[in-house]
Structure formats: structure tokens, C-alpha cells
Amino acid sequence: MSPPLLEVHGVSKHFGGVAAVSDAAFSVAERSITALIGPNGAGKTTMFNLISGFLRPEGGTIRFADRRIDGLRGDVIARAGLVRAFQTARVLTRMSVLDNMLLAAKHQPGERLGMGWIAPRRVAEREREIRERAHEVLDLVRLRPLAGDYAGTLSGGQRKLLELGRALMVEPRMILLDEPMAGVAPVLAEQLLDHIRQLRERQGVTVFVIEHDMDVVMSISERVIVMDEGRVIADGSPEAIQNDERVIEAYLGRSSGSDADPGRAAGHRP
Amino acid sequence: MDIFNPAFWIFIAILAGIYTILSLGLYVQFSLAGLPNFGHVAFMAVASYTMAILVVRYSVSLPVASALGVAAAIGLGLVMGIPSLRLRADYLAIATVAGGEIVRYLAMNFPEFTGGPLGSIGLQGPGQIASYNAEWQSLLDRIAAALSAIVGAAATRDLAMAMLVWSVAVLLLFLFWQLERSPWGRVLKAIREDETAVTAVGKNVFAFKLQALVLGAALGAVAGLLLAWQIGVFSPDDYQPTLTFYAYLILILGGMNRLWAIPVGAVAFSLLYSGTRFLNFFPLSLIDSGSRAFLRLFLVGLLLVLFMALRPQGMLGNRRELLLEK
């Protein structure tokens, strides 16, 4: 197994009195497709928010590519190569599909105020490069024909594809996908799965994915991390996880437990 | 003054030019970056007061005093922006409303420093009439003199002012049009749409928002200085919060997300605002002229409501873009 690209150690996060994540520890191997599963309110999305810098962990360390990233800002973490997508795709609706892509490209001198006047050639050249790259990626996610349309006119599934493509423009080493299949039409879902596999095969991107559909989890990931009530309760191959007592218990409920508490699920979602 | 008097149209042109620059500042903040600034007028006030105080009390030359006026407005932008821009947009709205009013009340209540309710005329204390405008008037006179070679007797100070204001306005519109189309503008628009997504692709949202706020403040300051020079005397009452809303109205009239719609909106607004004096026909002639002046406020409000209800994209906006949900 390749060395870990992401290492989470002793990370906790409380919202009010609720421990959304407590003392979580796990690692994600480079060039792997690793799934994060667990019942509603287990703290999966919170975990993603902690890793990607959208929330600050209360304790513990998070290391990415041998660099501590806990406490860094979200944009710094993204530029370091750890890029996230959202549960509900966040596309920029009143901008074109192409502009959504171009926005995300790194190293754009034209983002500096006035650089267009100081070094117009350099700005134009980079713009040409990223335009070319954006078209390639749009081809990959099959959105090229829609490049000129407002992103707001895309369907839910197309938006997820666009968000995936946009994340690729950041040239990630690792990508965090929060329920990429949720709300996507079956045909598109199949496509999306393909893209995720190819990401790893062709581009060597490490994929860390939250997914509810167990068939999907079993078919794409080689490793599964299971959370319940803010804790990591299991970590292993899909086969091992399927037969793990604690996992079955977490999903099917204990004889008596806090599972039945309806407020819990809502409280955990950031 | 009647409708055929060229002086009236020159007056409209000056007003519209200044409003164009003022609204361009708001455009950069609100239309581009999505920053709700409800205290834009404060940038005008701070720049004007700084300039006038430096000229009158410290005999600073006009160009230096003006530059410091713009710098002071930028400083105010930083003071309002740094604590509030990391938070949700609502907090900037609150900070700017408060900031605008604080500036006006400070000007009102520190007479020994600002002239108090008297305004700039009281800058040298009671019994003396202060003016910050001599250098500016002589500049206009020189321009007018040069113009008279071309247009003859029609070359007035006001004509010189109108040409100057519009030269500045067109230049600024052009520069910001280029900025809007640059990758920098792309990031700002994306922040307007969804700043979380922009953070997620690795852009420092706070830094971009601060840049937009500061640029908008500088544009507001320039508009403030031009207005101060044009009216010659100003007081805290000239910086009522309504002025900020006139700038919003101009953006809405022209078309919210269209840079070149700003001058169109500004001209339309200025005509509307000044044109109410011609509403002296029956049955409006039954109302006395003082009350008729208030009609324009009703008209401005009515028009705003009508536009929002019937034509939210303004005169030149893109309805399709506007109706897309975030």
C-alpha cells in the first residue's frame, strides 16, 4: 500500500453540546479511492469541512502531503492540492459553464489587480492556456457543448459534473466528494462513477468520497472508513466492513441507543 | 431656467457625470463583488471634508489635499471592511449604514474641526467665510478660456466642469470595464454568486472583497470631491443616506449588472431628479413650487417600485441572467 496522503489524528468538533466529530483518526492512502460512510448525522460532512478548512478542528492534527493543514484557511488548503466538492453542487449560476471552469485555474496573473495593464502578454498567455485546459476537462465531463450556457441552466447531475470538472482545474492531488451520486439521474451517475475511476487511473488523483449507496461504495472504493456518532468505528476493505459487527449495529440500530433521537441527525449536519 | 436653456442641460450633464462615478463605485462593490454597501455616501463625505479641511486650515495644495481625501475614504473602507468582510454579507451592510451615519454626525457635532452644521463655510470658525475652491475655480477658468477659442461665448465654467467630469467618468468606466473582463473581475463575480465555492477552488475571498470595497471607496471619494468643487460649499446635510440610494437607483434604472448602463441610468436619474421643476402645468400648478420639489422624491420612489415590479433588469440589463436562481 502506498504511503498515506492524508492523516487525521485526534480531531474533534463540537456544535454547542453536540460532539459532531470526536477524536477521529484515520488516514487515506495516496492514489486510493477511499469511501467515508456512516448513518445520517454520523459527522461525515463535518469531517470533510474540518479537512478542507471550512471548519476549524478543536484538537488533533490533520496532515496532507506531510504538511500540517489543520487551522489553515480553506483556500490555502485547496491551493495545496486538496480540493473539495459539495453535497449540493455549488456552481456559479449566473456565470457561464466555461467561466466556472476558468475561475478555478491556478496561477492566474490576471487575478492581480491591474496586471492586465502591467503585463498584458503574460495575462493573455495564461488565459489561453487555461481556456485550452478547461475545454479538455469539459470534454472529459461531457459538458463541452454547454460551455457557453449559464451554469444556472444545468440540471442537478450536470452541475455535479461541472463541479467535478471545476475541482480538476485546481490540479488537485486529492479530491473530496460529498455524495457525488445524490440526486443524479442514473445515466449520469454511471458516467460520474466512470470519471471518478478515471481520475485515479489516468491522473493519479486520490479520491475520498462520502457515499450512501452501498453498491457504489463497494464497486469503486478499495477502502472504507465508517463513522457513527462522530467517531470512526471501523476502517478496512469493503468486504471486511460489510461483515463488521459495529458497522451493522450502527446502520441497523442497537437494542437501546440514541439512534432513535430525531434531533440528532439534524444537529450533526453543518 | 427653462427646458431650452443650455445651462440647464450642462447642469444635468455635470450631475449625471458625478453620479456616474459615484455609481461606478457602488457597481464595483455591489454588482461585481456582491457587497451590500449602504453607506457609500460616507466615502464622498470623508473625502470632501478631508480635502476642504486641509486646504482651508492647513493651506495644503489642492492636488495633495484631494489625494489625501481619497486616501481617507480608502482608510474608512478598510475600517468598515476588515472586521466585517470575513462575516456574512449582512454584517457589511450594517457596518456601512452605521459608518455613513457616524461620519455625518461627527461632521455635524465637531464644529471646531468641521464647521458643524454650517459646513465648509464655517471651517475657519465663526465670523469668517472659508472657501476651499479657489484653486479649482481658477483651473476651470483656464479650461474655459481654452474652450472659448472653439465655442466662443458658450465656454463657461460649468461647460468646462461638464467636460472635465465626463472625461474622468469615461476614463474610469473604460478602466473598470477592462478590470471587469479580466480574471480579477471573474473572481469578483464568482464571489457575488457563491463565495464558499470560490474559497473551495483556492481563492482568498477576503482579499478580493477588500480590494473591491477599497476601489469602490476611492471612486466614491472622487465623486465626492467633484461634487464638493461643483457646489462650492457643503454641509453635513449634503451627505444624507438618500444619496447612497440614488446610486442604487441608477444601477437599477440602467441595468444591475451592466457597466455601460451606469451612465444611461445616471442621465435618466438626473433628468428625472431635476426635471420635476418643469412639472408646473395644470393640475400640478395648483401646488406651490416648494411642495412640487418634493414630487421628485415621490417620483423617484414610484419609479424604483415600477422598475422592480415590471422591469427588474433595468433599461439595458439581461433579464434571463437576472432570473436565474443562485
What is the ipTM for the molecules in this complex? 0.88
* Residue A2: CA count within 13 A, CB half-sphere: 15
Tell me what pLDDT residue B326 has.
Answer: 64
Q: Which residue of A has its CA nearest to B319?
A: A94
Q: Write out residues in chain A with pLDDT < 50, as ranges.
A: 256-270
Calculate mean pLDDT across residues B230-246.
Answer: 92
| pLDDT tens readout for residues A145-176 | 999 999 999 988 899 999 999 999 999 999 99
Nearest Cα of chain B lies from the Cα of A9 at a distance, in angstroms, of 23
Contacts of A73 in chain B (CB under 8 A): 199, 204
Tell me what pLDDT residue B90 has.
Answer: 83
Place of cell 474641526: B113
B36 has pLDDT over 60: yes
Task: Count Cβ neighbours within 10 Å for each residue of B208-235 and write b for 16 or more, e otherwise.
Answer: bbbbbbbbbbbbbbbbbbbbbbbeebbb
B229 has pLDDT over 60: yes
**What are the grid coordinates assigned to B153, written together?**
461665448
Give percent of chain B with pLDDT exceeding 70: 97
**DSSP states along B124-141:** T-TT----S-HHHHHHHH
| pLDDT tens readout for residues B144-174 | 999 888 887 778 889 999 999 999 999 999 9
Q: By the 8 A CB rule, do A94 and B324 touch? A: yes
Contacts of A92 in chain B (CB under 8 A): 189-190, 193-194, 197
Cβ pair A103:B186 closer than 8 A: yes
d(CA A6, CA B170): 52
Tell me what pLDDT residue B173 has.
Answer: 97
Which band of pLDDT confidence, cut at 50, 70 and 90, is reported for residue B118? confident
Q: Which residues are CB-neighbours of B283 under 8 A, at least 6 positions away?
A: none
Tell me what pLDDT residue A256 has.
Answer: 46
Calculate mean pLDDT across residues B223-243.
Answer: 93
Tell me what pLDDT residue B1 has.
Answer: 57
pTM, rounded to two decimals: 0.90
Per the prediction, chain B carries an average pLDDT of 89
Per the prediction, chain A carries an average pLDDT of 89
| Other beta carbons within 10 Å of B313 | 20
Nearest Cα of chain A lies from the Cα of B197 at a distance, in angstroms, of 6
Instruction: Say which amino acid occupies B95.
Output: A
B278 has pLDDT over 90: no
Cβ pair B189:A95 closer than 8 A: yes
Tell me what pLDDT residue A185 has.
Answer: 83
Q: By the 8 A CB rule, do A39 and A251 touch? A: yes
Q: Find the DSSP H helices in B152-194.
A: 157-181, 183-193
Nearest Cα of chain A lies from the Cα of B5 at a distance, in angstroms, of 42
Which residue, among A84, A113, A115, would best test binding to B if mutated, counting the most B CBs under 10 Å from its CB?
A113
Tell me what pLDDT residue B149 has.
Answer: 85
